[in-house]
Structure 1
Amino acid sequence: MASSPAPRAPRKPVTRRHHGHEFVDDYEWLRAKEDPEVIAHLEAENAHTEAETAHLAALRETIFEEIKGRVQETDLGVPVREGEWWYYSRTAEGAQYGIHCRVPVADADDWTPPTISPDSAPAGEQVLLDGNVEADGHDFFSLGSFDVSADGSLLAWAIDTTGDERYELRVRDLTTGVDLPDRVADTAPGAVFDATGRFVFYPTVDESWRPDTIWRHEVGGAGDDVTVFTEPDDRYWIGVGLTRSRQYLVVDVGSKITSETWLLDSADPTGEFRVVWPRREGVEYDVEHAVVAGSDRLLVVHNDGAENFELVDVPADDPTSTSDRRVVVAHRDDVRLESVDAFAGHLVVEHRREALPRLSVLPLGPDGYGDLVEVEFDEPLFAAGAGGNPEFAQPTVRFGYASFVTPSTVYDLDVRTGERRLLKRQVVLGGYDPADYEQAREWVTAADGTRVPISLVWRRDAVTPGEPAPLHLYGYGSYEHSIDPGFSVARLSLLDRGVVFAVAHVRGGGEMGRAWYEQGKTLTKTNTFTDFVDVARHLVAEGRTTPEQLVAEGGSAGGLLMGAVANIAPELFAGIVAAVPFVDALTSILDPDLPLTVIEWDEWGDPLHDAEVYEYMRGYSPYENVREGVRYPRILAVTSLNDTRVLYVEPAKWTARLRDVGAPVLLKTEMSAGHGGVSGRYESWRERAFELAWLLDVLGRA
């Protein structure tokens, strides 16, 4: 890359001093978002990126058409029963956003989702909200809250039209389709009705974008909204919900390592919340309400003395009781217990074993608990999880299933008979045949002896066994978030061109249990980076690929991973895609006034007050460690101007510093989007087509 963007206006460097160390930051001036010169800089970078990728315009359009051509554009989701209605969303050809609808149930015993044609509205269909109508006139549109009252008469919904994740809350009368005068600005996502439908409970954020307060809004009321819960500790976020039984309103409070739950009897929505277990540093737990053998119980998934969590039940009226506390699912070293869903006749337990997410069903009988039975699948790699189960009395379990080769699938499982009913499998147009593709699991021994799993998928007739192939290696490795096997229509454009796709399940994620996460955070964070490098070296050593045929990708905290490996082992990669990358990590985590920083100290450490953490982060933070004399791979950084999670300034500074040392780097900034990128499915497809075309160009497959 010989060309450069327009010259940058010289600015006075900023000097940062902490713990006896001094760092001169030449590009901190790019943080001034409202400065015209900053906007001019970003626009010049965009123009430069467009010029440098102009030769890929035809390929971008081809890939976009491939994605579009494989998607059934006019489609609908599987209806979900809640109350007296079946709810679903549908999409229409040419429309960017979903249309949210419902039809009435046939009768009280109707648990079979209706068959609805995606091409025509069924009799009795009611459109609750058309995203295309609400998005009209806006460059960006995101729905943050969507909750229907228990009697089905009201809809609480909230929209963001800038990408900054501040939503305006509204209430719609579903009998007339007209919005009420109720409007609340600057809410966070997750508003819910109480069980009566008289009140909406919603969260707001503080100056650092931390959800810190829950409010009660009376629908149609003339008075001010009432604060019902505030969390003053900057390390904690909060959210509000309603138990499936509708017996309790729930306020969840959590930091990265500690949690606390508060309940309010739904019969008294103006009453006071009560704590289930008072918070204790390092203890995390979640709560579900169940009725077991006629008694009100609270099911608690917790890690107090159980690293991979266990499930206990306690009396709802005395949750701290030790004499009336029962272990329902015991702790296991090889199974990470993740959640429990309670229904009138059964529980659904989600857990992770052998780096795969699974679910089990535990029947409830008149005498209590039955036997826990895992739902089995026959593919070597898959992801399965419950979803779309809002009704307490339902006799079925709705769950989703997918793999790298099996498109997203929805089943209903009859708890009594064990019968599994296929409700929908994602339609992939263009003659897709899963038999054309193969997926596999491999294990890599890292430098410290740890076995790290890799998941791979490729097209059988496009890759020759024993010969190196172009390979796209993805990684994340933070927040105990797992990158599970899942289907992607866009990925087919790579696989069909002979590119192997692989996921490095590095430490810091949650694939192998809580210890896997603990070994890739704070003062062990560099394990995340070295695991990824060891995976890349393994793939080269095993002859699956070569450094000239290897492109890495990660986003957000995975973008930090990309920045780190670019510094650690640039010779291993031909290219790197860094999406909304957290690459100026030390600067951000040092500043408690930046959005969400204090919350993040439990994940990364507190470099502001701890010299050891400061030195450790200084050793890996990508921006500080860009080096002279290094032959960096080609790098594409993608960000959004209105991102409130990873600010645009991080990749802007990083790419400027990389260019100073001669790295072949491109920066693309969406000027009206947030952390998730552009809104609208067609625009998101175009964005992905841009990235994939660049990736194929690096791999010599353009």
Structure 2
Amino acid sequence: MTDKITPPIAKKIPHNMTHHGHTRTDNYYWMRDDERQDAQVLEHLEKENQYVQQHMSAHQVLHNALFEEMKGRIVKDDSSVPVKDGQYWYVSDVQGDDEYASHYRATNELLSDKTLLLNINELAQGYEYYDVGEMTISPNENLLAYSEDIDGRRIYTIRFKDLCTNTYLDDVLENTEGQLVWSNDNKTVFYVKKDAQTLLGFQVYRHVLGTPQSDDTLVYEEQDRQFYMELGKSRDESEIYIYLAATETSDILALDADAPMGEFKRLLPRTEGHEFGIEKLAGEYYILSNHDAKNFRLLKACEKTIGDRLQWQELIAHREHILIEGMELFDSHFVITEREMGQIRFVVHNYQGESYQLGFDDACFFAGIGYNPERTASHVRIHYSSLTTPSSVYDCDLTTGRKTLRKQQQVLGDFDSNKYASERVFVNARDGEQVPVSLVYRKDTFHKDGTNPLMQYGYGAYGITIDPSFSSTTLSLLDRGFVYAIAHIRGSEMLGRNWYEQGKKANKQNTFNDFVDVTRALTDQGYAHKDKVFASGGSAGGLLMGAVVNQAPELYLGVGIHVPFLDVLTTMLDESIPLTTNEYDEWGNPNQQAAYQSILNYSPYDNLAAQAYPNILVTTGLHDSQVQYWEPMKWVAKLRALKTDDNLLLFKTDMEAGHGGASGRFKSLQDKALEMAFFIALLSS
């Protein structure tokens, strides 16, 4: 009988931490092992995994059925829409039960002479986890560089392949971020190296093919550890960029791509609080900037004026209720991505000042600019989906706006989009703000009478907006009568930059309040039964779940908490942990007393209490580089010691994976099936 299964109980070793005259005692600090080799830690994680297996064995039939359902909707033989880049058309496909794609190129769109570039399935053989971070072709199109991660820590090794001889070069670049940029000489490349302890990319190196990595030249090192570092190339391929981004400040250094032995120079002075993005085409820079523009505006400069903001020419002014999210430049037009009242749209401009909008008809949807490598193209590729419309690829004529559907995701089985309906509603938060919510349900099982189960998802951090896009896996819940809701809470940019700023640092409590208020509103309005509510979130969304179950545990029957950021205060006080210093502007710097107190007020680990909690499933990866495994491990141990209920608390660790979970298109479905089985079983218990 499952009620006789006893969970593993962790030992307590008090560890005191004092800051600003305040002392906290952490009985489970011993669970931290940076090397992931401590026998006691690994043994305890294995016991937790066995406990999960014991409990869920009674629901193995349901778990298997859900997995087969989800797998059965996926087309086994599938391919991408070919995209032209230079002389070639590039395409990827998957076959049969392959977990990974194979990548090809051909000299024509019909792919009549396609040749294999990489078979990821072959590369992944022998590894429990395998991920290709980036693939990039040299300017002369003869060489391929790709990066690989074999344990989920997001530490990539870069390898090179000669596409003319189909052989590998001897060059191997280790301990990188996974990005690589080619100079225009086809032999000099730039990459970012990581700090071995913090896993922060902070150094840019130059490598010349045919030389050992030990001879590589350090060309830039960022001293301020609050900045993330990426590489890129201008739209016209004339410049190589080092992009530096803190939460509230941007910086860009540039190098002539034809002179790789030169020095990177700042395009403009670094100014705290100035966020901007740049693209260059035909000798002119196009700049998205938040200077005097919270929701950003578009400006233009030439090479002589780029360093002086006062000389920039404004093309699109700031608007209070419209957020500019991005731009794509073509020789004939440029496309701006905007968001108003939570909804994305594209505005196509020519260089003579004329423009028109590209829109879609669904009540709520996701749309994004796809991969458009050819600036001479006459169309822009757009990806589109909604909660009821499978992922679709459109080519939109830049002159006329005419959309051509190139491909729509095929969903096998009896899927019919007409069986489902979606809504966008706004919920009154306790402080009077209107919180957007995207909903989807199956028409023949939904009754707005408070009888349906509800699955509510949220994230709410970093200004990341979780748009309502199609998920074939969610159909397994909808077909069982669930209503699925995405709560677009503060901390995202769903309603513009101010929406984000209202959910960060000292305002973080708004994020949790919004999620709870959405739950209450949806049950009050009849979308769901108050005793059949489930919630789920991962990473920063896992922090959201941890705070919500502390503050309003009575609202939820079951909660899924994945790769969760739960021990916020301890982590943000430790600069040796990956991501800590980068995120002071997101959570606050607790070395300052006000920020310390603000974080302490909600930090899920610090606020666990002797009270009843919902049924909870927690998952993590041992090799997680973003949120360390010991955060959920400690949280579960402490919660077991405190909670006053008999509800389930299950904790599963993937001993081979990192922050992204299992790799492979089918293997990753097992985790989704586990959570769904956990939730569905609770309805019948």
The answer, yes or no, to whether TM exceeds 0.5 is: yes
Kindly report which structure 2 residues correspond to 1:414-433, keeping only aligned pairs within 5 A, or say none.
414-433=397-416
2:329 aligns to what?
342
Shift of 1:540: 1.5
Determine helix, strand or coil for the equivalent of 2:116. Answer: strand
What is the CA-CA distance between 1:185 and the residue it aligns to?
1.1
Q: Which stretch of structure 1 is more off in the superposition, 208-217 or 508-517?
A: 208-217
1:10 CA drift (Å): 3.0
1:666 is matched with 650
Report matched runs for 1:57-96 at 5 Å: 57-96=60-99
| d(CA) in 2 for partners of 1:322, 1:48 | 60
Alignment of 1:484-495 (within 5 A): 484-495=467-478
Aligned partner of residue 683 in structure 1, secondary structure: coil
Which stretch of the first structure deviates more once superposed, 508-517 or 265-274?
Answer: 265-274
Q: In the alignment, what sits opposite 2:417?
A: 434
Matched, 1:98 2:101: yes
CA distance in structure 2 between the partners assigned to 1:431 and 1:370 by the alignment: 48
Alpha-carbon distance in 2 for matches of 1:457, 1:210? 39
**Shift, 1:372, TM fit:** 2.7
Partners of 1:186 and 1:5 in 2: how far apart? Answer: 42
**How has the CA–CA distance of structure 1 residues 6 and 158 changed in structure 2, closer, same or farther, with 3 Å as cutoff?**
same
Tell me, yes or no, if structure 1 residue 567 matches structure 2 residue 558: no
Cross-structure match for 1:208: 198
Shift in Å at residue 221 of structure 1?
3.1
1:655 — aligned with what? 636
- 1:546-581 deviations in whole A, cap 9, x for unaligned? 331100000000000000000100001101100101
Tell me what 2:288 maps to: 301
**Cα offsets for 1:606-638 (capped at 9, x unmatched):** 11x21111111111111111111x111000001
Q: Give the aligned partner of residue 176 of structure 1.
A: 165
Match of 1:233 in 2: 224
Equivalent residue runs for 1:615-694 within 5 Å: 615-628=597-610, 630-662=611-643, 664-694=648-678
1-structure distance, mates of 2:496, 2:95: 41
Alignment pair present for 1:508 and 2:495:
no
Look up the match of 1:260. 251
CA shift at 1:5, angstroms?
5.2
Work out whether 1:458 is the aligned partner of 2:441. Answer: yes
Superposition pairs for residues 20-419 of structure 1, below 5 Å? Answer: 20-32=21-33, 33-105=36-108, 114-115=109-110, 122-206=111-195, 207-221=197-211, 224-291=215-282, 296-321=283-308, 324-364=311-351, 369-419=352-402
- How far off its partner does 1:158 sit? 1.1
Q: Distance in 2 between matches of 1:3 and 1:42?
A: 20
Q: Which residue among 566, 571, 576 is the counterpart of 1:593?
A: 576
Q: Do the aligned residues in 1 keep the contact of 2:235 with 2:281 (CA within 8 Å)?
A: no
Partners of 1:427 and 1:667 lie apart in 2 by: 34
For 2:600 and 2:507, locate their aligned partners in 1 and report how far apart those are by CA, in whole Å: 14
Question: What's the counterpart of residue 16 of structure 1?
Answer: 17
Alignment check: 8 A CA contact 2:9 2:637 kept: no
Q: Kindly, what percent of the aligned residue pairs are identical?
A: 39
- Is the 1:548–1:699 Cα contact (8 Å) retained in structure 2? no
* Cα distance change of structure 1 residues 7 and 339 upon mapping to structure 2, 3 Å threshold: closer
Contact 1:358–1:375 (Cα < 8 Å) also in 2? yes
Cα deviations by residue, 1:157-199 (Å, 9 ceiling, x for unpaired): 1111111111111110011221100001111122122233221
Q: Are the counterparts in 2 of residues 438 and 460 from structure 1 also a CA contact under 8 Å?
A: yes
Give the conservation status (yes or no) of the 8 Å contact 2:449–2:528.
no
Aligned residues: 677
Contact preservation (8 Å) 1:214, 1:239: no
Whole-angstrom distance in 1 between the partners of 2:310 and 2:276: 19
Label 1:172 to 1:15 Cα distance change in 2 as closer, same or farther (>3 A): same
Residue 432 of structure 2 is aligned to residue 449 of structure 1: yes
Moved more, 523-532 or 195-204: 195-204
Cross-structure match for 1:111 = none
8 Å contact kept, 2:183–2:258: no
Alpha carbons 2:536, 2:561 under 8 Å: kept: yes
Assess, with a 3 A threshold, how the Cα gap between structure 1 residues 693 and 437 changes in structure 2: closer, same or farther. same
CA distance in 1: counterparts of 2:4 and 2:161, whole angstroms: 53
Match among 573, 581, 584 for residue 567 of structure 2 = 584
**C-alpha distance in 2 between matches for 1:624 and 1:678:** 29
- SS of alignment partner, residue 455 of structure 2: strand
In the aligned structure 1, how far is the partner of 2:291 from the partner of 2:502? 19
Conserved 8 A contact 1:357-1:484: no
**How far did residue 244 of structure 1 move?**
2.1
Is the 2:8–2:48 Cα contact (8 Å) retained in structure 1?
no
Secondary structure at the aligned position of 2:477 is classed as helix
Whole-Å separation in 2 of the counterparts to 1:274 and 1:16: 43
Deviation at 1:370, TM superposition (A): 2.7
State the SS of the aligned residue for 1:622.
Answer: coil
Calculate the TM-score normalised by the size of structure 2: 0.97
Cα drift, residue 103 of structure 1: 0.8
Query: Structure 1 residues 1-10 or 380-389, which shifts more?
Result: 1-10
Write the distance in 2 (CA, Å) between the matches of 1:327 and 1:290: 17
Aligned equivalents of 1:643 and 1:177: distance in 2?
34
TM-superposed deviation, 1:376: 1.4
Q: 2:112, 2:299 → 1: CA distance?
A: 46
Query: Match of 1:163, SS?
Result: coil
Any idea what SS the aligned residue of 1:245 has?
coil
**Alignment deviations for residues 275-328 of structure 1 (CA, whole Å, 9 cap, x no partner):** 12211111100000023xxxx210110101100000100112330345642111
CA distance in structure 2 between the aligned counterparts of 1:57 and 1:531, rounded to whole angstroms: 35
Give the aligned residue type for 1:92: Q
Q: Distance in 1 between matches of 2:614 and 2:546?
A: 11
Deviating beyond 6 angstroms after TM superposition, the runs of 4 or more aligned structure 1 residues are none
Q: Are the aligned partners of 2:450 and 2:523 in contact in 1 as well (CA < 8 Å)?
A: no
Residue in structure 1 matched with residue 680 of structure 2 by the alignment:
696
Q: Once the two structures are superposed, what CA deviation does each residue of 1:461-493 show, in whole Å capped at 9, x if it has no partner? A: 111233421000000000000010100010000
Match for 1:37: what amino acid? Answer: Q
Q: Specify the code of the residue in structure 2 equivalent to 1:260.
A: D
SS at match of 1:190: strand
Q: Is the 8 A contact 1:145 1:158 kept in 2?
A: yes
CA distance in structure 1 between the partners assigned to 2:578 and 2:391 by the alignment:
35
How big is the shift at 1:142?
Answer: 0.6
- Residue 145 of structure 1 deviates from its aligned partner by 2.2
In the alignment, the residues of structure 1 paired with residue 397 and residue 61 of structure 2 have an alpha-carbon distance, to the nearest angstrom, of 49
Correspondence for 1:108: none
Question: Any idea what SS the aligned residue of 2:178 has?
Answer: coil
2: distance between equivalents of 1:195 and 1:80?
Answer: 22
Residue identity matched to 2:118 = L
- In the aligned structure 2, how far is the partner of 1:229 from the partner of 1:323? 28
Tell me the residue number matched to 1:109: none
Q: CA deviation at 1:6?
A: 6.0
Q: 1:544 deviation in Å? A: 1.6
**Partners of 1:30 and 1:647 in 2: CA distance:** 11
Contact 1:308–1:514 (Cα < 8 Å) also in 2: yes
> What 5-or-longer segments of structure 2 have no aligned partner?
none
Contact 1:156 1:200 in 2 (8 A): no
Query: Residue type of the partner of 2:596?
Result: Y
